[in-house]
Structure 1
Amino acid sequence: MKRILACVLAVVMVFALAACGAPAAEDSSSPSASAGSSSSPSASASAPASDFDSTREISVVSREDGSGTRGAFIELFGIEEKGEDGTKTDKTTKEAAIANRTDVMLTNIAGNEYAIGYVSLGSLNETVKALKIDGAEATAENVKNGTYKVSRPFNIATKGEPTGLAKDFINFILSKEGQEVVSGDYIAVNDNAEAFKSDNSTGKIVIAGSSSVSPVMEKLVEAYKAINTGAEIEIQTNDSTAGMTAAMDGTCDIGMASRELKDSELAELTPTQIAIDGIAVIVNNANPLEELDNAAVKSIYTGEATTWDQIIK
């Protein structure tokens, strides 16, 4: 019996010693556990890889026929081709989605990671990314110094010489005060304009046309009405061609165009250049692309390049 009790006691002591010598289980909520995990960062703690899939198709977005921005864009990038007989053909891919206003274009690009489009430089905002073109950033300064070459005029037009309120308002646009408004987002056409003196004309005028010109026109109207409180001015936004047509048929007093006037329009209208604007080529903020050259933009818009891996090398 004594021998049996001695054996049992020996076994108990062995198990007790083993328990005392075993390392304590690690508590994942303890400070030491936290310190241990932070010393070996997980994959999620490292810089995230881009999710942009360059094998995806390019979603090309263009403006509608009649848009001055489209007209200038296809001309500047060689997307519009001139035949031997002098006729011009717009080679924009038939796969392009159409945005019929500047704000619609911005919404399209901001909402589609694989889209590309273009807008007036003065309408650019943080919801999209403007690409460098041929190494130059899309800024008013670069348009003015000639390094960013994708630019066009902002014109207004009247049927014959303007009179009354229309004339006074146009005089304001071309004055020192008006050109200061223009230079906020665009390029003034006269840095040495004289100070404005209103003749206090009253009544109502209607201004119609380009959605690219509308933002600066709204600012000009606001600034003018602060000087001439008796003026009533209505702005109708559509596109350049509609604005010139309205000016010709008399349904508006002043038409707006974000391009040069066509010969048929010049035959009936008196144009006045009020500003110079750049055209920004834009992509979604998730797109890793930072710049394109002129030839690449043309290849995208003519449908020659259809996937992003043909552009992003």
Structure 2
Amino acid sequence: MRMKKFIAILSIVSMMAVGAAGCGSSSDTATTDDTASTDTTTEESTDTSSSDWDAASAITVVSREEGSGTRGAFTELFGVVDDDDNDMTTLDAQVTNSTSVMMTTVSENEYAIGYISLGSLDESLVKAVKIDGADATAENIENGSYKVSRPFNVAVKPDLDNAVATDFMAFIMSTEGQAVVADEGYIPVADVEAYAGEAPEGSCVVGGSSSVSPLMEKLIEAYAAVNPNASIELQTSDSTTGMTSTIEGSYDIGMASRELKDEEAAELEGTVIATDGIAVIVNQGNPTDDLSVDQVKSIYLGDVTTWDAI
């Protein structure tokens, strides 16, 4: 009887030992798995190779649409044209239709390069590179060290018969109007006089270049303060549309971010209201800070296709 009790007790002890060993094994396995999981997480969190700058990557060339005054001025100033002044921008370029879209496109692509109106530059989105060692600033345009600049033109028909349009033109070319130009970061016109308008009632339509449009919006706001009787509608398109629509009569005042073409000047009276620089922009993650005119030209012709070839 005692022997049977001893065997029963021994069996219970053995079962408890096996159970304890099983629990220990489970705990050990869980610890091992947790460690492996932790190691994997740590490895993933410290792996930043995908965001590192790779100079061997292809350059994403971004350009403005045909008809854009900024594109016309850019290709002329950087020599991205043939002997007959035909635009030779690489066919691989992505095309954007406004200054804002250009900045957004470059800000979202580490390897992109583009160009915009200097006065519209938003340094929280993109970086303007130096050109031949000169920073893209209004001061450097004035002192001649930054040579990539172009005029902002407005144009009207010689027989313009709109009192508001005429008065608004006088305001733009006044001391008050040119103060707005300077405040917005553009180069104002010299030798202007104080505004002496008559505050006529009525309306007019101003339209054209998307590069001139931000400045024009500020000029319209300032004019409204001195003539609340007038209503000015601003339509944003491109320089070529600005000129053709003024010739056709859809716009009272057309805007162009370039010189007027001969055929446009034959039918319109152009007035330079400001001088603007063209900023060459790259993504803020791009370490490139300075490019020469020839390097920019080679990129836009498609001769240079990777950043390490600069």
Q: Is 1:95 aligned with 2:112?
A: no
CA RMSD, aligned part only?
1.6
- Count the aligned residue pairs: 261
Structure 2 partner of 1:118: 115
Query: Which secondary structure state, in structure 2, belongs to the residue aligned with residue 272 of structure 1?
Result: strand
User: How many angstroms does 1:162 deviate by?
Assistant: 3.6
Q: Is 1:211 aligned with 2:206?
A: no
Structure 2 partner of 1:223: 222
Structure 2 partner of 1:292: 291
Separation (CA, whole Å) in 2 of partners of 1:182 and 1:120: 14
Separation (CA, whole Å) in 1 of partners of 2:138 and 2:159: 31
Separation (CA, whole Å) in 1 of partners of 2:68 and 2:307: 27
- Report the TM-score, using the length of structure 2 for normalisation: 0.82
Q: Is 1:173 aligned with 2:180?
A: no
One-letter amino acid of the counterpart of residue 160, structure 1: P
Contact 1:62/1:96, CA 8 A, preserved across alignment: yes
Flag as ranges the 4+ runs of structure 1 deviating above 6 A. Answer: none
One-letter amino acid of the counterpart of residue 117, structure 1: G
Structure 1 partner of 2:9: none
Query: Which secondary structure state, in structure 1, belongs to the residue aligned with residue 86 of structure 2?
Result: strand
Separation (CA, whole Å) in 2 of partners of 1:91 and 1:102: 21
Contact 1:207/1:254, CA 8 A, preserved across alignment: yes
**1:160-187 Cα shifts (integer Å, max 9, x gaps):** 1444111100000000000000012100
Contact 1:161/1:270, CA 8 A, preserved across alignment: no
Q: Provide the identity percentage.
A: 60
**1:284-312 Cα shifts (integer Å, max 9, x gaps):** 0000000000100000000000001101x
Separation (CA, whole Å) in 2 of partners of 1:165 and 1:131: 41
Separation (CA, whole Å) in 1 of partners of 2:278 and 2:202: 35
User: How many angstroms does 1:200 deviate by?
Assistant: 1.2
**1:199-227 Cα shifts (integer Å, max 9, x gaps):** 11111100010000000000000000100
152-161 or 68-77, which moves further after superposition?
152-161
Separation (CA, whole Å) in 2 of partners of 1:90 and 1:55: 27
Q: Is 1:130 aligned with 2:131?
A: no
Query: Which secondary structure state, in structure 1, belongs to the residue aligned with residue 155 of structure 2?
Result: strand
Segments of structure 2 that go 5 or more residues without pairing to the other structure are: 1-44
Separation (CA, whole Å) in 2 of partners of 1:135 and 1:292: 8
- Report the TM-score, using the length of structure 1 for normalisation: 0.81
Separation (CA, whole Å) in 1 of partners of 2:173 and 2:271: 9
Structure 2 partner of 1:35: none
Structure 2 partner of 1:63: 64
**1:66-98 Cα shifts (integer Å, max 9, x gaps):** 00000000000010122xxxx322110000000
One-letter amino acid of the counterpart of residue 128, structure 2: A
**1:7-48 Cα shifts (integer Å, max 9, x gaps):** xxxxxxxxxxxxxxxxxxxxxxxxxxxxxxxxxxxxx99xx9
One-letter amino acid of the counterpart of residue 115, structure 2: Y
Separation (CA, whole Å) in 2 of partners of 1:221 and 1:241: 22
Structure 2 partner of 1:189: 189
One-letter amino acid of the counterpart of residue 112, structure 1: N
